[in-house]
């Protein structure tokens, strides 16, 4: 029974630990960024496409508007992001070198390279770990980008191939599933395109694109960092009331909390299932002890005959049940620590969930609640034995 309770405790505390750490890691999907800026839309939609590469932007923002944000006295840095192309189902992100310098995630970690370096040429690409793993890419490989998002029926920019210049280390974030190129590259591959289609009879070879003005005309979104976070609302008002075009600046932490509240029903369901598993484990404990009372009738009767009162019998059985619950809880806690130790690196690399050592206050409260509930459950067979009479124990059953 102690093993059964241990497994129940591992499941309950494990789900609670994952739930709290997943929420914390989700809120830190982008850290160090004070504002996310894009065309006016809902804050959640802006976060979805700017941070998680999900969905499409309703409109782009002009480069001149981005420059107005960059030159604001309170802004320390701003990273432009251009979306809209893909590579075999993976998002293509147009940006500049500031992306690799200022993008932070988790507890302030920066992007790292497992091979290669940031893009230095127009047709250099930096790919995420998941892209490299699934497509078996290495530094120096040639890739072709697709116009539009998705993985079926998309036109290719086959006349302007890219070279893999670097591969990023795993982060557990959409960065792993992205191909990063320069903003100039985004302009270059669309020189002979208009309205989402190539211009008939016009093809500009890759070796000639440098003769053209490749300065970006518009971008999809921007990540903004401030010199002093105390001025975040001032800058937010400046952007939201910008007269050049309708813009929206959101605080990523607030928007991520709002987004998490939408999917929180899933975590609550998992926690509910874990509670039911613990309840089944404790019910099994009560059932086993109750079933064992029939075999221990003479043992209990002898205790009664030598002077042990009904209350003593109740206390002894309650202590026995409590020891089983305590042993199972400690075994479960040890198993949870062992599982966390071995799974921490994998969860961080593949899911972006950082497991911290120790128990959170919520997890500790659950553990104490399980132990208290187990002790109360052990009183049930104790009360049953309390009601057994001495004559019932000494009278043989036919």
Do 143 and 14 lie in one domain? The reply is: no
Do 96 and 64 lie in one domain? The reply is: yes
The range of the structural domain enclosing residue 190 comes to 35-250
Final residue in a domain of this structure, among 217, 250, 283 = 250
What is the model's pLDDT at position 398? 47
The answer to whether position 28 is within a domain reads no
Of 312, 277, 288, 309, the residue nearest 390 (C-alpha): 309
The answer to whether position 255 is within a domain reads no
Do 186 and 272 lie in one domain? The reply is: no
Q: Which one-letter DSSP state was computed for residue 173?
A: S
Do 313 and 267 lie in one domain? The reply is: yes
Going from the C-alpha of 9 to that of each of 111, 247, 356, 380, the distances in angstroms are 36, 49, 18, 21
Q: Report residue 78 as tokens.
A: 């701003």
Do 314 and 187 lie in one domain? The reply is: no
- Say if residues 149 and 220 touch (Cβ distance below 8 Å): no
Residues of the chain with confidence (pLDDT) below 50? 389-391, 398
Three-state secondary structure call for residue 75: strand
Final residue in a domain of this structure, among 250, 279, 312 = 250
Say how many domains are in the chain.
2
Q: Which one-letter DSSP state was computed for residue 96?
A: -
Q: Which one-letter DSSP state was computed for residue 231?
A: G
Q: What angle do CA 180, 181, 183 make, to 5 degrees?
A: 125
What is the model's pLDDT at position 256? 80
Do 211 and 281 lie in one domain? The reply is: no
Do 178 and 295 lie in one domain? The reply is: no
What is the model's pLDDT at position 301? 66
Final residue in a domain of this structure, among 196, 220, 250 = 250
Q: How many CB atoms lie within 10 A of CB 176?
A: 22
Do 234 and 295 lie in one domain? The reply is: no
Do 206 and 299 lie in one domain? The reply is: no
- Say if residues 371 and 10 touch (Cβ distance below 8 Å): no
What is the model's pLDDT at position 145? 92
The answer to whether position 256 is within a domain reads no
Do 239 and 117 lie in one domain? The reply is: yes
The answer to whether position 29 is within a domain reads no
């Amino acid at each position: 029974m102690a093993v059964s309770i241990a497994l129940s405790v591992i499941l309950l505390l494990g789900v609670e630990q994952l739930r709290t750490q997943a929420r914390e890691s989700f809120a830190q999907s982008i850290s160090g960024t004070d504002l996310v800026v894009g065309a006016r839309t809902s804050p959640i939609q802006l976060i979805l496409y700017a941070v998680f590469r999900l969905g499409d932007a309703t409109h782009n923002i002009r480069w001149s508007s981005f420059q107005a944000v960059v030159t604001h006295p309170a802004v320390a840095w701003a990273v432009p992001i251009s979306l809209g192309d893909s590579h075999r189902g993976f998002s293509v992100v147009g940006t500049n070198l500031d992306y690799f310098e200022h993008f932070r995630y988790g507890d302030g970690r920066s992007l790292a390279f497992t091979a290669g370096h940031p893009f230095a040429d127009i047709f250099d690409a930096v790919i995420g770990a998941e892209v490299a793993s699934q497509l078996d890419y290495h530094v120096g490989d040639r890739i072709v980008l697709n116009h539009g998002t998705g993985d079926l029926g998309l036109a290719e920019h086959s006349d302007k191939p890219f070279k893999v210049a670097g591969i990023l280390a795993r982060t557990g974030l959409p960065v792993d599933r992205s191909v990063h190129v320069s903003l100039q590259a985004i302009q270059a591959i669309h020189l002979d395109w208009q309205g989402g289609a190539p211009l008939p009879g016009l093809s500009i070879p890759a070796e000639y694109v440098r003769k053209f003005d490749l300065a970006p005309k518009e971008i999809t979104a921007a990540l903004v960092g401030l010199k002093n976070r105390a001025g975040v609302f001032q800058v937010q008002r400046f952007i939201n009331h910008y007269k050049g075009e309708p813009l929206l600046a959101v605080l990523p932490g607030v928007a991520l909390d709002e987004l998490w509240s939408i999917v929180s029903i899933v975590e609550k369901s998992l926690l509910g299932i874990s509670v039911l598993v613990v309840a089944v484990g404790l019910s099994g404990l009560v059932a086993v002890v109750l079933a064992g009372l029939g075999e221990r009738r003479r043992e209990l009767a002898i205790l009664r005959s030598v002077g042990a009162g009904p209350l003593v019998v109740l206390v002894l059985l309650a202590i026995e049940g409590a020891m089983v619950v305590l042993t199972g809880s400690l075994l479960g806690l040890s198993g949870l620590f062992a599982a966390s130790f071995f799974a921490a690196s994998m969860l961080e690399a593949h899911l972006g969930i950082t497991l911290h050592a120790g128990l959170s206050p919520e997890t500790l409260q659950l553990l104490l609640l399980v132990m208290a509930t187990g002790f109360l459950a052990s009183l049930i067979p104790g009360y049953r034995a309390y009601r057994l009479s001495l004559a019932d124990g000494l009278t043989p059953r036919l």
